[in-house]
Amino acid sequence: MIRVLLADDENLIRSALAALLALEEDLAVVAQAASGAEALAMARAHTPDVAVLDLQMPDRDGISVAGELATVLPGCAVVIVTGHGRAGHLKRALEAGVRGFLPKTVSAPVLTDVVRTVHRGGRYVDPELAAEAISAGDSPLTPREADVLELAAGGAPVEEIAARAHLSPGTVRNHLSAAAVKLGARNRHAAVEAARRHGWI
């Protein structure tokens, strides 16, 4: 029996996924979570074989949860499901050790096959997302520029971003300016939009 953890902040989607997986004789949903923090707590408590995580949850994204799971529960394979697949998300997910990456539009048979595949040690990446990732190329942003741009996404002032990133305001301005130039954006708001569109933040 393959023990599965489901994490999605949308209750209806999570319940539907649980109902679909419950129809399979070899799959058992042992825990459900509505946030990244809850997913980690449930993983520690129930030690699932496979975690199916939503990419975007209110407190943190599925990729950062996957990275932490790799440390606290290395035997748990992770599948990311998303309604907003971008090339940058896929690359970050693979770097975090995610074994499956697919859109929420896949059929139930595909999802159950992916759960079995990753449990056996295999990988599955949606072909369209894989093709998009190859054509998009790598992010031009340095990790620090991406971090600062992500902190700027909510419209926080430079001083607040500096405090949260443990940088000086001048350094934050330099990173934001460099990111805007690299992305061909007229200002930091446009840079955030461009980076999000490609999945680089």
pLDDT in tens, the chain (201 residues): 999 999 999 999 999 999 999 999 999 999 999 999 999 999 999 999 999 999 988 888 898 899 999 999 999 999 999 876 666 778 788 888 999 999 888 888 999 999 999 999 999 998 887 877 666 667 788 888 988 998 898 888 999 999 988 899 999 999 999 999 998 899 999 999 888 877 787
pTM over 0.75: no
Q: What domains sit in the chain, N to C, each tagged with a CATH number?
A: 2-135 (3.40.50.2300), 143-198 (1.10.10.10)
- Report the distance separating Cα 97 and Cα 120, nearest Å: 15
User: DSSP strand E in the chain: where?
Assistant: 2-7, 27-33, 50-54, 77-82, 100-103, 124-125
- For the four alpha carbons of 74, 76, 77 and 83, in that order, the dihedral sign comes to negative
Tell me the two tokens of residue 44.
Answer: 């520690």
